[in-house]
Structure 1
């Protein structure tokens, strides 16, 4: 879906598709250097990270394994509730594995903080985070994120996997959702 298809639902385009692809290529080169000669498990956080994980994995030049976890703290709202539920757990054993959590966005950090504690309890050799987007002004907990694509303002964004009420994930860029859509 192109921005013109939903023009009245967006107030602005924050990040164009080409910028996202260039940033994922840059992050992939860093990840390859950091994990050279190591087995790497990418853990995508459903549903929002689908686009990021797919494009990041395709950009990497050495084999990786992938698994998915679904957690929720949003419901249909625009802010994290902080109460995390596992909707789908990993199929992989993390014991002794190098794990890279792939996220679409870090907002308050509450969900990711919980997820980090949960996955660390499973005995990985290492665990790092790659997030396409981060909202520094929305952070409620401090999380060390090794790979960040873009820091963005504290606005409600959609596209490139990010949704509002399960819509807009297939938008090819990241845009700010107009308040009239969710008011």
Structure 2
């Protein structure tokens, strides 16, 4: 879906599909260099990270093993509740593995802080974070993110996996959602 298909629902395009793909390729090069010779497991956080994970994985020039977790702290609103639930756990044992969490967006940091703690309790060799988007002004917890695509304003955004009430995930860009949609 292109922004022109739903332009009345959007206020501003923050990053185009081309900009996002270029940034993911850049991040993939850094990740490959950092994990050269290491057994890397890339863990996508469902549902939002599907687009990011797919395009990041396709940007690697090496084999990459993937697994998925689904955690939630949102419900159907536009703000994080801070209460985290696992909806789908990993299928892979991460003991002594290098784990890279791939997120679509980090805003408050509450969910990710909980997720990192949960994964570290499973005794991996390392846990690092890659996110396509981060809202520094929304942070309530300091989260050490090694790979960041774009810092964006603390506004409600959709597209490229990011949703509002399960809609807009397939929008090819990332844009701010018009307040009339969620008010």
TM-score scaled by length of structure 2: 1.00
- Equivalents in 2 of 1:73, 1:130: separation in Å? 19
Q: Which residue of 2 aligns with 1:45?
A: 45
Q: Which residue of 1 aligns with 2:157?
A: 157
Q: Which residue of 2 aligns with 1:69?
A: 69
- Equivalents in 2 of 1:94, 1:28: separation in Å? 21
- Equivalents in 1 of 2:79, 2:159: separation in Å? 16
- Equivalents in 1 of 2:172, 2:72: separation in Å? 23
Q: Which residue of 1 aligns with 2:114?
A: 114
Q: Which residue of 2 aligns with 1:28?
A: 28
- Please provide the CA RMSD for this pair: 0.4
Structure 2: unaligned runs, 5 residues or longer: none
Structure 1: unaligned runs, 5 residues or longer: none
- Measured against aligned partners, the alpha-carbon deviations of 1:106-141 in whole angstroms (never above 9, x if no partner) come to 010000000000000000001100000000000000
- Equivalents in 1 of 2:98, 2:20: separation in Å? 25
- Equivalents in 2 of 1:51, 1:123: separation in Å? 28
- Equivalents in 2 of 1:97, 1:37: separation in Å? 12
- Equivalents in 2 of 1:124, 1:46: separation in Å? 20
User: Size of the alignment, in residue pairs?
Assistant: 183
- Equivalents in 2 of 1:71, 1:110: separation in Å? 12
- Equivalents in 2 of 1:137, 1:11: separation in Å? 19
- Equivalents in 2 of 1:78, 1:44: separation in Å? 21
- Equivalents in 2 of 1:14, 1:64: separation in Å? 29
Find the residue that maps to 1:162 and give its secondary structure.
Answer: coil
- Measured against aligned partners, the alpha-carbon deviations of 1:80-108 in whole angstroms (never above 9, x if no partner) come to 00000000000000100000000000010
- Equivalents in 1 of 2:120, 2:62: separation in Å? 25
Q: Write the mapping of 1:1-183 to structure 2, written as runs, cut at 5 A.
A: 1-183=1-183
Greater than 4 Å deviation, 4+ residue runs: none
TM-score scaled by length of structure 1: 1.00
